[in-house]
Chains A and B, each alone.
Chain A
Amino acid sequence: MSDKAKRLVEISHLVKEYPNPYGDDFRVVEDFNLNMKEGEFVSLIGHSGCGKSTVLTMLAGLNEISDGGIIVGNKEIDGPGPDRSVVFQAPCLMPWMTAYGNVMLGVKNIYPHASKAEKKQIVEHSLSVVGLADSMKKYPRELSGGMQQRVGIARAIALQPKVLLLDEPFGRLDSLTRMELQDVIIDILAREKLTAMIVTHDVDEAVFMADRCVMMSNGPLAGVGEILEIDFPRPRDREAIFSDPKFFEYREHLIAFLEQRAHIKGATRVFSNGQTMGYMDKEAISEIEQNPTLTQLSGVA
């Protein structure tokens, strides 16, 4: 009973199909199963184009579910909801609004009955949590990329969701800014006791941030390849973890999976099904074959 109560997100037999212009539908994700406990941080890692973002956007409700289902807090989801908020890869701020206005935009909608002062407090609190207490009145164009993404994070947490979804949130940032923001996220999650899922293709990030690391097999017909439990204490200390031999073990494990199994599994799946591959994925796969895998995975992309 206790196990069931703790479960916040249940993804079962999730399928995503895209219509193919020649009739036979093209399956990107097939039979994806994952359960997330309350307060857990899961990272989703895989080669680019394997469908990890597709899974996340389906969980966010931005992408239609072809088959299977997702339950969040004992309710099957149907479109976006206030219990799940998303931090996108691009900050996606409204350039005609200040940082404050951007955060307020969501707050106004989620808490229509709150008083002005309350709303203001929520917005100011979430902006100061991400370290932007001094830049509330600035417009996006006056903020650096990292600061813009901080606003994106503030906007997501201001909605006080149950689940925070991070879609390659640091993909466009330089590595120093990325580290700063990773710490910001870890702090917030610890403080607000949020459940979170991060999609990334950075192995270090996946290991450092998450409690569990879900490795996805290559698409099409991608699914959960393997799940790795990361056993580091929270709050996480960057230096301690990066010098821990366990960290390297996890890292090796992930890379080994991504280098060999994910690739083979994906490929065999395609051919065993007798389907021709889609154009996109053919390209993606040949790209992976041509490039040394390690450069893909080191996250410097």
Chain B
Amino acid sequence: MSQKGSDKFKYGLLKAIDVSGFKVFDPVVRLIFAEEPRKQIQDIAKYMLLPIIFCLVCFFMWDIIGPRHKTKSGEVPSPGKVLEAAKDATRFKQREGEKEAAFVAEGKDREALLADSKKKLTEFEEKTAELQELSAAAAKSGQNKIDASLNPIKEKYDTLKAKYKTAQTERKEAISTLADQFANKQASKDELIAAMEEDSLQKESEKEELKVLSQQLDDIRANPPKEIKEAQLAANKAADEVQHYKKVIDILTTGNREVKKNALLEKAEKAEAALTVATTGAEAQKQAKAVVSNKDKAGKADEQKFPKAATIYWQTYRSLATVFVGFLIAVLVAVPVGIMCGLNRIVMACLTPIISIFRPVSPVVWLLIFQIIVGAFFPDPDKHWLFQTMNESKLLPGFIHNLQVNPAMIFSACTVAMCALWPALVNTALGVSSIDKDHLNVAKVLRLGFWSRLFKIIIPASLPLVFAGLRISLGVGWMVLIAAEALSSSDGLGKYVWDEYQNGSSQSFANIILACFVVGIIGFFLDRIMIMLQKLVSFDDGSATA
């Protein structure tokens, strides 16, 4: 009985793996249940280990080849640097979180945070001092190393330079004497010209030789040993932490919401006290005004939010939200229209020209069109009800406020919807129009009405194809979104990439490649989810055939 139970579990697990599209793990599960271990191990080697090794080889080649290609924005980052960028991005997010916590902390929490931050600050200050010392030592020892490789070349360069200089003056003198001789008719014209030519050739070759040497020197200077760089980097990082905690402490002591509010309330109280003892009308008016305005400001301070900087996490979240909205619009339009097209040939004929003409239009064009058309609905976005409700309404949860919906996001979502529309529409129409005729005959014999025919027969029968279309749509939408965000500067991964490209710091290139991986991995999971849904609604695994 227990044997049967474990078998059931095994096949359940295998089915789950199959449905979720991770069939690669099939032999692993079978191996765990000791089913033909030899075959499973072979399968694992063939279909899991080899691909892993291949990927590792690719990464290895990237690691070697990448840094050799020098570009205007630095060398191509190696995988290690991209990983470093990912870590930095995570730390950046944490820091923003800490700052926000510092901003909103109240009462005892604030004091505890302050103490904690001060402790961390001293910790990092010590660490920074230590690391800077280390870095200086590394620089010193590194300098020796540099000097060791630099000095012989430098010496050679200096001696050569001196030698050539004297040679040049000598030649110059020789020429001038020759010229004098020519003037006195003691030498021929040809002799003088030959000497002149000889001199210029010599000069050229000497210059070339010196240039090569100076280039070598420059190279050595530009590429200090790795230790120096690393020690410096570590010291800089620690110094960054110090800066961060200083900022946190600053926020906790002066920028904190509660502190500000209390200060304002205190001012109001003072003004009130002054008001009670005011003697002149003008004075009383002034104090009364101060009471009101300070109280008002204090009330507003309570609602203030910390202006968080955009992290890649938030950008990803916003991108996902945008693509979800766009995809939802696409589905809501494409599926009903697709069903109508599939049901009725006249509708299909009417829509065919529209589909054929608009489907190939580039997302960039759509984005611009939507910016103009949709933009007209939001002449003053800050005061528009849509954005006010989305970003401020108390009825909506914080994660929606967090999106900071703006017109650019809506253009991007519309562009996604427009581009994701077509595959879903065409596939739905195809799915509906290619239903098994037998099913329709059954519907006729059972005398089903239009609606029950639609919902009981037509839609279920066409679902596999509809979902195949939706899967393509989501893939297209995700791809289009990144471009749309970059172009419309709607916050999201696309804008992140664009900003990094524009700002050109030493780490931007690594950040761009990081974003590339984030986009790819998310795209992969979105696709997997759609495959899963598609498999869940499919029923063609050996069913209808008798």
Residues of A that sit less than 8 Å from B by CB: 60-62, 79-82, 84-86, 88, 90-97, 105-106, 108-110, 139-141, 145, 148-149, 155-156, 159, 172-173
Contacts and interface: CB of A to CB of B under 8 A. Distances in A.
A92 B439 contact: yes
A106 B446 contact: yes
Closest 9 CB pairs of A and B: A145-B546, A141-B543, A106-B446, A95-B539, A95-B543, A92-B438, A96-B460, A92-B442, A86-B445
Contacts of A95: 539-540, 543-544
B452 interface: yes
Interface string B438-466: 11011011111100100011001100000
A196 to B, nearest CB: 15
Contact of B441 (A79, A92, A110): A92
Interface in B443-500: 444-449, 452, 456-457, 460-461
B541 interface: yes
Given A60-B445, A141-B541, A159-B446, A94 B456 contact: yes
Contacts of B152: none
Contacts of B445: 60, 62, 80, 84-86, 106, 156
Contacts of B460: 94, 96
B192 to A, nearest CB: 102
Interface string B418-452: 00000000000000000010110110111111001
B542 interface: yes
Interface of B: 436, 438-439, 441-442, 444-449, 452, 456-457, 460-461, 539-546
22 contacts: A62-B445, A80-B444, A80-B445, A85-B445, A86-B441, A88-B438, A88-B441, A90-B544, A90-B546, A91-B544, A92-B438, A92-B544, A94-B442, A94-B456, A95-B540, A105-B446, A105-B456, A106-B446, A108-B452, A110-B446, A139-B539, A141-B542
A86 to B, nearest CB: 5
A90 B457 CA distance: 17
A108 B438 CA distance: 20
Which of A96, A139, A159, A173 has the most C-beta atoms of chain B within 10 angstroms of its own C-beta? A96
A80 B439 contact: no
A172 B546 contact: yes
B19 to A, nearest CB: 15
Contact of B544 (A80, A86, A93): A93
Contacts of A62: 441, 444-445
A88 B446 contact: no
A141 B445 CA distance: 23
A105 B448 contact: yes
B454 to A, nearest CB: 13
Contacts of B457: 94
A79 to B, nearest CB: 8
Given A90-B438, A96-B539, A140-B543, A80 B447 contact: yes
A96 B542 CA distance: 12
Given A62-B441, A88-B442, A141-B541, A109 B447 contact: yes
A140 B545 CA distance: 9
Contacts of A79: 444
A79 B436 CA distance: 20
Contacts of A141: 539, 541-543
B356 to A, nearest CB: 28
A79 B445 CA distance: 9
B83 to A, nearest CB: 47
Contacts of B546: 90-91, 145, 148-149, 172-173
Given A92-B439, A96-B460, A110 B447 contact: yes
A109 B442 contact: no
Contacts of A88: 438, 441-442
A173 B540 CA distance: 20
A81 B441 CA distance: 12
A156 B447 CA distance: 12
A89 to B, nearest CB: 9
Contacts of A61: 444
Nearest to A144: B546
A82 B444 CA distance: 10
A133 B305 CA distance: 66
Contacts of B436: 92
Nearest to A112: B449
A97 B459 CA distance: 13
A265 B507 CA distance: 90
A105 B457 CA distance: 10
Contacts of B452: 105, 108-109
A156 B461 CA distance: 21
Given A95-B539, A141-B539, 8 more contacts: A84-B445, A88-B438, A90-B438, A94-B439, A94-B457, A140-B544, A141-B541, A155-B446
A155 B446 CA distance: 9
B195 to A, nearest CB: 100
Nearest to B537: A96
Contacts of A86: 441, 445
A109 B448 contact: yes
Nearest to B539: A95
Which of A81, A90, A94, A148 has the most C-beta atoms of chain B within 10 angstroms of its own C-beta? A94
Which of A60, A105, A110, A172 has the most C-beta atoms of chain B within 10 angstroms of its own C-beta? A105
Contacts of A145: 546
Contacts of B544: 90-93, 95, 140
Contacts of A90: 438, 544-546
A104 to B, nearest CB: 10
A142 to B, nearest CB: 9
A173 B545 CA distance: 11
Nearest to A161: B445
A82 B456 contact: no
Contacts of B438: 88, 90, 92
B492 to A, nearest CB: 38
Contacts of A96: 460-461, 539
Contacts of A91: 544, 546
A156 B442 CA distance: 10
